[in-house]
Each structure stands twice: as C-alpha cells, then as structure tokens.
Amino acid sequence: MAIEGFDYKEFAASMAEQAKDLVPADLKPHEKEYIVKTLGNFTMLAGEALANDTSLALNAEQAVFITQIIAEWSYHKSIDLINSGILPQYWDSIMQKIAFTIFEVAKQAVIRKIPNEQLLQAVEHHVVKVYKQSIEELEQKGIIDAEIKNRAENQSNIDAMAQQAQQAQANQSQKTQEEIAAESERQAEEARKRKEERRAAKRGKKLPASSGAIPQGLSHKDLKLMSLALVLKVLSQDKVTTILNKFDSNDSLTISQYMNMADLESHIDGDLVTDCIKEIKNFLPVKRKLSKENVLADLKRLYATKSREKIERVIKNERPIVKRFVSKAFDGEFENIPLKVAGIVAEYIEDNV
C-alpha cells in the first residue's frame, strides 16, 4: 500500500528540476546532465523502495525527509566526483554505494525515532566514510594515483556552498555599511536644511528633556548615538537588528530608546548631526582581516571568558571536522580546514555562547 500523500515520482522529478538551476555554471553540459540524472534516479529509486515497503509504516513526511537527504547528498557528491579527476566510468559505482548507505542509515534512524539532527550527523559521517573508502579502493587497484586520490578526498561541495553563503552574508554586511553612510549623509543634509534658522540658538547648548526620554547634560557619545538612531529610524527592521547586535547591550538599549522618540529630529542640531555622523565610524565594528591568527585570537578570547563545556554545547550537533577544529583551538592549534569555514565557526560560537 502506497504511503498516503507521498508521490515519489513527482517528488523525484521536482528534485531533478531544481538541480538544473543549481548546478555550477562552469561545468560541461554532460557533467551537468550527469548530476541531474543521478540525483533524479536515486531519488526515484529510494522513494519507490520506501513506498513499497509496508513493514516500515512511514508517513509522508518521513518518506520525503529520507528521500530528500539522498537527493541532496547525490547532488553534492556527484559534483565532488566530477571535480576529483576520477574518470567518469567509475562515478556510478561510487554514487551507488553512497546512495545505498544513506538509504539504510536514514531509514533505520527514522524507524528508531532518532532526532533529525543526530540522523543528519550519522548520514554525513557514513557518506564521508564510504566516499573515502571508495577513493582508496581505486588507488589500491592502480586506477588512480596519489595525486588524484588527494584531490578527490579534499573535494567538498557542501563546504564550498557554506563558504559561498558566508561570503554572500559578508557582501550584504558591506552593502549595509554603505547604506548607513549614504543615509547618514542624506539625513544630515535634510536636518541642516530644516533647522537652518535654529542652528545658532542650539549650538553648544544642552539638549532639553522630552517626556523623560532624554537626560540632561548629554555626552558627546550620546549625541553620536542619537545621530545613529536618527539614521536607523528609516532602515528596515532586519538591518536595524543587524546593526544593533554589533553594539554592547547598554549602547544598543540607548539607541533603541532614541529611535522610539517621535520628535527625535527636533532635538538634534543639523551641525551636530553632521559632526557626529563623521565620527560614528569609531563606534561601528571594524572588520579585521581574516587570518588564522585572528581566528585563534577570537576563540582564545572566548575561552578566557566562557567555559569549555558551554562552548562544546553550542557545537554539539556540528560535523566532526568542526568539533576537531574547536578542540585543537583550545590548545592554540589551527586545524587544517578552509580559513573561511574557520571564520564562520568562530563567529557562530561567539554569537551563541
């Protein structure tokens, strides 16, 4: 009896169609075709096997979950094989081993009601293991040499995609900074025009209190935070949240209070805004150059203030390579992983401890 709500044929076709839009543009046509075809075939076979195995008693959600895992890993590992230098006639046998392993591991994990996070970890562990064993078998048989073996074992499209996502996030962050600067200039100019006649009267005076929201005798830093609040009032909530997270809790709260003042602009002189905007850079975080030394320094700083147990809890569901990296970092050693990935890990830990 088929699984109600699970049309494995339609699902496999959908996965293959999505893969067409995701395959790397620099691959050759026959390589792109291989990725899409392999993903579609394995997804179809897995879905059919699940649907026909009445002993499993799976629901549609569980069947989709298992089948999607096979589709995603088929996509990533077929790309790894294409980039490895291994001849095409050996790709299918390796992919078949990987797909079968995923199917069995995922199926048993679902049956035993293992949490999804642990299931995904187990699948990744066995995929990496089977892939590596298959590469080593080719070397032992003299089909590939040590150079191709090393190149194949170092392929990881899934990590490459993570790096691309981090780069996209960094680009968006840079765009946000540019938007802040442009909006700051616009706000300063508008404030100058609106308050031209009041400039002389306000220059050098303490800002008045308004419903208790603004204290008497504001410091120069407070003026800068007010100026930034004026800019943030016109940005989207997502951008505001991203920027406020870069400040300590006291400054972030102060900026939020200023933003909630309906008449904030009436309390700030145009010249003061212009001057403060020019100095805001001193309060915004400066992005350091990404290097092994800086990453280890950031982690060392965290280790000095946070317990090792707390940090390990943050990464308990991460991949083994991430856990090894963090463990080595405790001893001041840099695990051999891509620098961008190390930066992502350090930033993730800092944001979550």
For 202-244, write each residue's pLDDT tens digit. 444 444 444 334 444 566 677 777 777 777 777 777 677 767 7
Q: pLDDT band for position 138 (50/70/90)?
A: very high
Of 163 and 32, more confident: 32
Please state, rounded to an integer, the average pLDDT across all residues of the chain. 78
Region 20-31: what's the mean pLDDT? 89
* pLDDT at residue 215, rounded to an integer: 44
**Cβ within 8 Å of residue 132, ≥6 positions away:** 153
Asked which of 18-22, 247-251, 284-288, 312-316 is least confident by mean pLDDT, the reply is 284-288
Burial label, 63 (beta-carbon count in 10 A; 0-12, 13-18, 19+) = buried
Region 175-188: what's the mean pLDDT? 67
* pLDDT at residue 346, rounded to an integer: 80
292-328 pLDDT per residue, tens:
888 888 888 888 887 888 888 888 777 787 788 888 8
- For tokens 């077929």, the residue is 78
Burial label, 1 (beta-carbon count in 10 A; 0-12, 13-18, 19+) = exposed
Give CA torsion, residues 296, 297, 302, 303, to 10 deg. Answer: 70
**Alpha-carbon separation of residue 353 from 45, 250, 313, 324 (angstroms):** 43, 19, 9, 18
Q: pLDDT band for position 275 (50/70/90)?
A: low
Q: Which of 76, 90, 64 lies closest to 39, judged by CA? A: 76
Of 102 and 322, more confident: 102
